[in-house]
Amino acid sequence: MTFPKKGRAADALLAELEARKANDVRWQEGRVFAYIYDAGAEAMDVVKKAYSAFLTENGIDPTSFPSALELERDVIAMALDLQNAPPGAKGSFTTGGTESILLSVKTARDHARATKPHITAPELVLPETAHPAFFKACAYFDVKPVITPVDPESFTALPGAMAKAITDQTIMLVGSAPSYAHGVIDPIAAIGQMALKAGVLFHVDCCVGGMYLPFIRKLGADVEAFDLSTPGVTQMSLDFHKWGYAAKGASSVLYANGELRKYQIFAWSGWTGYTIVNPTIQSGRSAGPIAGAWAALNFIGEDGYLRLARITQDASAKMCAAIREIEGLKLLGNPPGNLLAFAAEGFDIFALADAMKAKGWFLQAQFAHGPSPANLHVSVGPANAPHIDAMLDDLRAETARLRADPQYRVATPSEDEIAAITAMEPADLLDAMESMFTGGTGGMPDEMRPINTLMDAMPFEARDRILKEYINRLYAKPAGAAADT
């Protein structure tokens, strides 16, 4: 595509944009169990209007756009209240959980530089179930990730293992409430006591749980301590664009002690232009996401979030109970909320993902790592609830069909085959995979099982190299080509 010589009519442009969604997952039907957080058409309409109303306002300068600052103060205050923050707590609005985590790790590093000069090689202690954003933060800010094992049955962090990993270079501990992969909550109170004893910061990744766990707790769910009132917890990430149902681009990083936030802020006036003072990674930023989050929180309110949580919890409990009963499936861990994962016993879980997709259901495939086998992840939302029975009917039928067919037994490549494959250059291997699985078209085959099975057998480092090559190619394709993937 070349730069347009002339402008086009608005109607034609909008029609084309709508047409380009044709190959996207059909989330409007309530059959997608990942990526989408939908509180219903009425709430979505309010959020869209609020977002649009502040689309142009720029959060880069709160003195020029005090409305954006006021909205952010309101949203952060509501988040702190929801998380039982102590007096003096502060936070910042960010574009997503990854930015929130990046800022938290940067804050911990800079806090250590200022208060613990003996730390010259900062380390972050985190369980192997921690979100990849922490590893991204470590790569960006030159912090060493120190990875600890988790319980092989519950998939929760092991406080004893984390305690042994603490050194004089440790700047922060990490826990999840819940972890995305399995939907289970780490022992936050126990880790908090360790953080207090060691005198280090402690981040709770509550991106996916911050706008959900407080409400199911009020509904009577057994939810362990996780919020900012928990001793030892110093900071938290919380997304509004997940179960807060705000428009995407809406998250937060919160600090129990507001003084910590100053280590997050960047300022620079040593140049010939205007002074830059950024509390977050971005400089220029639309106030639209802030307004959308503000509208979502105020429109839905506590009563609305409790209603949505009740619907979602009922559907999640039904799904967990069914998975425990279906022969050939195994629920991983004991998730208290609406995120869960299940593995297959005696047949290929990736074949089940393909079979469910063919029936119109999207379940998220996850590769094996550590004690966690290859599995399918499910995020249950209120929009999925009316379709749970139909989804479970198909899950039972497809599981029985695949278990009965020998061709769907797990076929793992040999160690020699994996060694030969991983020794190849990523570009050459991707060329071979495209030729083998797609006939050289570069698109995705109807069934992902062969690719997923091969990728699952690889060491994750080799897998990551291939995925980088794939994404690099994907974004280089001509206009329209990405729709085939």
Q: Pseudo-torsion of CA 357, 343, 393, 484, nearest 10°?
A: 0
Quick one: pLDDT at residue 350? Answer: 96
Last residue of a domain, one of 296, 318, 339: 296
Q: Is the CB of residue 349 less than 8 Å from the CB of residue 395? A: no
Last residue of a domain, one of 247, 280, 296: 296
Last residue of a domain, one of 263, 296, 329: 296
Distance of alpha carbon 197 from alpha carbon 1, whole angstroms: 59
Q: Is the CB of residue 233 less than 8 Å from the CB of residue 208? A: no
What is the tens place of the pLDDT at every residue in 60-74? Answer: 888 899 999 999 999
What is the tens place of the pLDDT at every residue in 375-416? Answer: 999 999 999 999 999 999 999 999 999 999 999 998 777 888
In a domain, 115, yes or no: yes
Quick one: pLDDT at residue 445? Answer: 66
In a domain, 41, yes or no: no
State the residue range of the domain holding 267. Answer: 50-296
In a domain, 111, yes or no: yes
Tell whether pTM > 0.95: no
- The CATH number of the domain holding residue 150 is 3.40.640.10
Quick one: pLDDT at residue 193? Answer: 98
In a domain, 259, yes or no: yes
Low-confidence ranges of the chain (pLDDT < 50): 482-485
Joined tokens for residue 331: 């629920």
Quick one: pLDDT at residue 438? Answer: 65
117 with 265, same domain: the answer is yes
Quick one: pLDDT at residue 478? Answer: 59
Quick one: pLDDT at residue 149? Answer: 98
In a domain, 443, yes or no: yes
In a domain, 190, yes or no: yes
What does DSSP say about strands 170-176 and 201-205: parallel, antiparallel, or unpaired? parallel
Task: Give the total number of structural domains in the chain.
Answer: 2
In a domain, 435, yes or no: yes
In a domain, 241, yes or no: yes
